[in-house]
Amino acid sequence: MRKQQFSIFESLKEDIIRGVYKNGTLLPSENTLAKQYSVSRPTIAKVYNRLQSNGYIKKTKRIRIPGHS
């Protein structure tokens, strides 16, 4: 994982752990986060994939924090 991707991953992971994103809530779209972090959408897709593989998010049609929905 590239340094920029890792930085975004860590930032989102910490937000999830701190409860910025509550269980069952939708996360921002890849396009929204790409604009926010000034990166490409595929970069955010890779970050979301890593968050999912580490159990922090659940991807369905939209990306959610696991829990009550």
Given a contact cutoff of 8 angstroms between Cβ atoms, the answer to whether 9 and 16 are in contact is no
Q: What is the pLDDT of residue 69?
A: 46
Q: What is the pLDDT of residue 66?
A: 73
The residue extents of the domains of the chain are 3-64
Cα distance between residue 24 and residue 36, in whole Å: 22
Q: What is the pLDDT of residue 67?
A: 66
At residue 22, does pLDDT exceed 70? yes
CATH of domain 3-64: 1.10.10.10
At residue 65, does pLDDT exceed 80? no
At residue 10, does pLDDT exceed 90? yes
Three-state helix/strand/coil letters over 42-58: HHHHHHHHHHHHCCCCE
